[in-house]
């Protein structure tokens, strides 16, 4: 019964009692009150019913749109993962392997594990700025499966559009290629229209490198050339306040100088030379010709050779031995088709892609059960106390992953993979304490340093039972700093001033006032204390003498080998070496435990579906209600939804900002 039906019945009753049409009979006392309450309740129920029906209708529409988008995205991804020339996403699932495994690696490498939540995985895929995500573990599994599968006769990897963000990724692919070539004589061909430096280093361990005739190998070395702002600050009347401990803490130099200091320049030159040397060794170990000559000759020698070849970069690369042949993609495809023609197209090889290879390998691999597990946690980027970015390196995210590992009785230890230049000192300390709490349960923690684990990231690593560093890793940078830029001089010059009263000089924080001496001294003393805490913590955790701080601290950055010599790391090796170290720490035999990868909580601990609900609710609900709803549907989401804290004082940072140009 709706409002109209109820009104008609009341009018009919009035008419029967002799009331004139259109004139309601006057009611008095409790009867009038009860009717009013009943009418109000009825209207409220009707309104609630309409709102619920409309929300349900909108939810159905949203789901339909989402499913359509997902279907389209899945089709796109499937089409991109069908990696053989002429392959179609509509091809039926294979039951046997094709003779050619064609890996069309057009996308980006992201080695952080994705959430098992299907909606989170879907949204991550839909919202990705890059077309396809590849995990290094997927490439490793495909190469291992191809080496053992007699039906696969050749492997081709097209890496011309592969985005590589980590030197650690290069090292792992190189090792997988070495193991493939050691296990079989099958050709392993890497192809590209153009090779960036990172793509070439990744491809250097293939048995054949094929370059497009119109392509090039863009080898250029390594560099670090930050911008310096001292003159600009002076020109615009801006005053930089810099507080630091550590003579080599280069993060603050751009505010203090117009060029890199001689000490930092010498330090960085040594680091860059070391990285170039490792690149030379990596290529020479697979291409012996480069044991006698550099992969990148001197600039004048290179230009002379390029002039000799009429500016043809491809012919220069072939003549110099960087590649083995020059062919287009179609020519390479036709060449493989001569030995392994497709039934549908004799001009294309009978090939399969990465997804098909992995599906076949998974179906053939027996499931291994174990009473012990080793959890792997991966973190990267700048350490912050709070971030709305998914998979950010924050205390909340790390704590959530450690809690998940702690809740699993099978987990005997954790391998923490770190790739970070540091960040906020407070956040770094929170993460270090979280690791200490996790270890109190009797479990072990090993940290594996990838490309970089410096400053605040080293503070995190200091809580581990053992530290293993990649040969490419940069670490150390044990130092702290804080900075602030004030426009008071600019404002004063243009007639803006500040005047008033205060109970303490520490309260005077006007934008038009210079920082007073008392505040400067207070912050400087705090930075000094933070540095003492940091160095003392490192000395205690690594069994170093505090008197040796000038050797292992002062903000100096070290290569992995230098860090091992000093005592900042225990071992230099790859990810597999780190896993073996964790097995040993946990008292397990080799391969006794299964590996459990724990992803970061999606949507900062809220969950993808819950995040969608909350975003919709925030459009018509007050903020406190939304927060209460969030806590109801995701009890651990409170920290993820908390507002960004504003700090009166400059942040104390423990960060190494060395920006490398290496791709």
Judged against a pLDDT cut of 70, whether residue 99 lies above it is answered with yes
User: Do 117 and 132 fall within a single domain?
Assistant: yes
Residue ranges with strand state E in 539-584 = 557-559, 571-572
Judged against a pLDDT cut of 50, whether residue 88 lies above it is answered with no
Query: Is 382 part of a structural domain of the chain?
Result: yes
Average pLDDT over residues 385-400: 85
What does DSSP say about strands 239-245 and 480-486: parallel, antiparallel, or unpaired?
antiparallel
Query: Is 622 part of a structural domain of the chain?
Result: yes
Residue 52 or 275, more confident: 275
User: CB-based contacts of 187: which residues, under 8 Å, 6+ apart?
Assistant: 154, 155, 207, 208
Query: Is 471 part of a structural domain of the chain?
Result: yes
Phi, psi at 34, each rounded to 5°:
-65, -40
CA distance 435 to 394: 13
Residue 386 binned pLDDT confidence (cut-offs 50, 70, 90): confident
User: Which CATH number goes with the domain that contains 347?
Assistant: 3.90.226.10
User: Do 377 and 468 fall within a single domain?
Assistant: yes
Cβ–Cβ under 8 Å, residues 513 and 488: yes
CA distance 656 to 478: 9
Residue 650 binned pLDDT confidence (cut-offs 50, 70, 90): very low
- Of 17, 49, 74, the last residue of a domain is 74
Average pLDDT over residues 28-35: 66
pLDDT at residue 646, rounded to an integer: 39
Judged against a pLDDT cut of 90, whether residue 638 lies above it is answered with no
User: Do 309 and 180 fall within a single domain?
Assistant: yes
User: Do 616 and 475 fall within a single domain?
Assistant: no
Look at the pTM and tell me if it is higher than 0.75: yes
Cβ–Cβ under 8 Å, residues 424 and 454: no
- Tokens 């499966």 — which residue? 145
User: Do 385 and 349 fall within a single domain?
Assistant: no
Residue 86 binned pLDDT confidence (cut-offs 50, 70, 90): very low
Judged against a pLDDT cut of 70, whether residue 93 lies above it is answered with no
Query: Is 25 part of a structural domain of the chain?
Result: no
Residue 16 CA, chain-centre distance (Å), reads: 77
pLDDT at residue 96, rounded to an integer: 86
pLDDT, one tens digit per residue, over 5-29 is: 545 544 554 454 444 444 444 445 6
Phi, psi at 245, each rounded to 5°:
-135, 125
Residue 203: domain span? 82-220+296-364
Cβ–Cβ under 8 Å, residues 435 and 445: yes
pLDDT > 70: percent of the chain: 77
Q: At what angle do helices 395-406 and 425-439 cross, to 10 degrees?
A: 10
Least confident among 103-112, 128-137, 284-293, 551-560: 128-137
pLDDT at residue 64, rounded to an integer: 61
CA distance 264 to 247: 9
Cβ–Cβ under 8 Å, residues 458 and 544: no
Q: Cβ of 453: how many Cβ atoms within 10 Å?
A: 36
Largest CA distance in the chain: 116
pLDDT at residue 600, rounded to an integer: 82
User: Do 4 and 60 fall within a single domain?
Assistant: yes
pLDDT at residue 33, rounded to an integer: 66
User: Do 471 and 333 fall within a single domain?
Assistant: no
Q: Cβ of 419: how many Cβ atoms within 10 Å?
A: 24
- Per the structure, how many domains does the chain have? 4
pLDDT at residue 66, rounded to an integer: 59
User: Do 66 and 105 fall within a single domain?
Assistant: no
Query: Is 485 part of a structural domain of the chain?
Result: no
Judged against a pLDDT cut of 90, whether residue 129 lies above it is answered with no
Handedness of CA 105, 110, 115, 118 (dihedral sign): negative
User: Do 53 and 164 fall within a single domain?
Assistant: no
Residue 643 or 30, more confident: 30
Q: Cβ of 289: how many Cβ atoms within 10 Å?
A: 12
User: Do 69 and 171 fall within a single domain?
Assistant: no
The overall average pLDDT reported for the chain is 82
Residue 663 binned pLDDT confidence (cut-offs 50, 70, 90): low
pLDDT, one tens digit per residue, over 41-58 is: 777 777 777 777 777 777
pLDDT at residue 602, rounded to an integer: 58
- Of 305, 340, 364, the last residue of a domain is 364
User: Do 130 and 182 fall within a single domain?
Assistant: yes
pLDDT, one tens digit per residue, over 502-546 is: 899 888 888 999 999 999 999 999 999 999 999 999 999 999 999
pLDDT at residue 619, rounded to an integer: 54
CA distance 454 to 656: 6
Burial class (CB in 10 A: 0-12, 13-18, 19+), 16: exposed
pLDDT, one tens digit per residue, over 561-576 is: 999 999 999 999 999 9
Least confident among 45-54, 311-320, 353-362, 625-634: 625-634
Judged against a pLDDT cut of 60, whether residue 423 lies above it is answered with yes
pLDDT at residue 8, rounded to an integer: 53
pLDDT > 90: percent of the chain: 55
Least confident among 160-164, 196-200, 327-331, 461-465: 160-164
Query: Is 230 part of a structural domain of the chain?
Result: no
Cβ–Cβ under 8 Å, residues 173 and 136: yes
pLDDT at residue 246, rounded to an integer: 76
Cβ–Cβ under 8 Å, residues 416 and 445: yes
pLDDT at residue 517, rounded to an integer: 92
Query: Is 248 part of a structural domain of the chain?
Result: no
Query: Is 267 part of a structural domain of the chain?
Result: no
Average pLDDT over residues 193-199: 93
Strand partners, 154: 100
Burial class (CB in 10 A: 0-12, 13-18, 19+), 55: exposed
- Tokens 């031995």 — which residue? 321
User: Do 142 and 198 fall within a single domain?
Assistant: yes
């Amino acid at each position: 019964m709706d409002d109209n039906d109820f009104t008609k019945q009341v009018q009919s009753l009035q008419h029967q009692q002799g009331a004139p049409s259109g004139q309601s009979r006057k009611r008095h006392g409790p009867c009038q009150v009860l009717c009013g309450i009943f009418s109000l309740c009825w209207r409220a129920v009707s309104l609630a019913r309409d709102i619920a029906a409309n929300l349900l209708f909108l939810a159905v529409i949203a789901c339909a749109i989402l499913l359509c988008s997902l279907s389209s995205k899945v089709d796109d991804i499937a089409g991109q993962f069908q990696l053989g020339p002429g392959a179609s996403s509509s091809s039926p699932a294979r039951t046997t392997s094709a003779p050619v495994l064609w890996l069309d690696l057009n996308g980006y490498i992201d080695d952080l594990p994705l959430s098992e939540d299907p909606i989170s995985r879907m949204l991550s895929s839909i919202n990705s700025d890059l077309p396809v995500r590849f995990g290094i573990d997927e490439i490793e599994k495909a190469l291992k499966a191809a080496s053992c599968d007699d039906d696969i006769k050749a492997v081709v990897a097209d890496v011309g559009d592969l985005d590589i963000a980590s030197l650690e990724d290069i090292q792992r692919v190189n090792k997988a290629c070495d193991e493939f070539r050691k296990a079989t004589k099958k050709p392993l061909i890497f192809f590209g229209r153009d090779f960036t430096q990172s793509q070439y280093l990744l491809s250097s361990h293939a048995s054949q490198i094929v370059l497009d005739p119109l392509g090039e190998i863009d080898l250029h070395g390594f560099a670090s050339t930050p911008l310096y702002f001292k003159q600009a600050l002076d020109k615009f009347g801006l005053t930089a306040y810099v507080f630091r401990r550590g003579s080599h803490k280069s993060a603050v130099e751009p505010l203090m100088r117009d060029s890199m200091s001689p000490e930092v320049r010498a330090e960085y030159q040594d680091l860059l030379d070391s990285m170039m040397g490792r690149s030379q060794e990596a290529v020479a170990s697979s291409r012996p010709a480069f044991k006698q000559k550099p992969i990148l000759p001197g600039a004048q020698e290179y230009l002379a050779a390029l002039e000799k070849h009429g500016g043809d970069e491809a012919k220069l690369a072939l003549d110099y031995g960087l590649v083995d042949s020059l062919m287009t993609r179609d020519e390479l495809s036709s060449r493989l088709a001569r030995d392994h023609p497709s039934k549908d197209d004799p001009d294309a090889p009978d090939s399969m892609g990465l997804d098909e290879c992995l599906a076949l390998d998974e179906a053939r691999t027996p499931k291994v059960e174990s009473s012990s597990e080793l959890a792997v946690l991966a973190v990267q980027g700048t350490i912050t106390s709070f971030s709305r970015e998914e998979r950010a390196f924050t205390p909340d995210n790390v704590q959530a992953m450690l809690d998940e590992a702690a809740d699993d009785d099978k987990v005997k230890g954790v391998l923490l993979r770190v790739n970070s230049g540091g960040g906020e000192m407070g956040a770094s300390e929170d993460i270090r304490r979280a690791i200490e709490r996790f270890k109190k349960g009797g479990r072990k923690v090993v940290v594996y340093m990838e490309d970089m684990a410096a400053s605040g990231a080293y503070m995190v690593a200091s809580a581990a039972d053992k530290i293993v560093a990649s040969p490419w890793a940069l670490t150390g940078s044990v130092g702290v700093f804080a900075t602030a830029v004030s426009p008071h001089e600019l404002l004063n010059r243009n007639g803006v001033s500040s005047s008033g009263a205060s109970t303490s000089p520490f309260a005077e924080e006007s934008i038009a006032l210079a920082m007073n001496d008392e505040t400067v001294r207070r912050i400087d003393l705090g930075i000094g204390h933070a540095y003492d805490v940091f160095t003392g913590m490192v000395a205690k955790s690594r069994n170093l003498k505090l008197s040796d701080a000038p050797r292992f601290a002062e903000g100096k950055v070290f290569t992995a080998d230098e860090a091992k010599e000093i005592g900042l790391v225990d071992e230099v090796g790859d990810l597999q070496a780190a896993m073996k170290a964790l097995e040993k720490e946990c008292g397990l035999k080799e391969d006794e435990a299964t590996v459990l990868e724990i992803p970061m909580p999606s949507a900062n601990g809220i969950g993808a579906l819950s995040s969608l609900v909350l975003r919709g609710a925030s459009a018509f609900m007050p903020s406190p209600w939304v927060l209460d709803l969030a806590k109801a549907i995701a009890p651990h989401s409170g920290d993820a939804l908390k507002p960004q804290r504003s700090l009166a004082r400059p942040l104390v940072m423990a960060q190494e900002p060395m920006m490398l140009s290496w791709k």
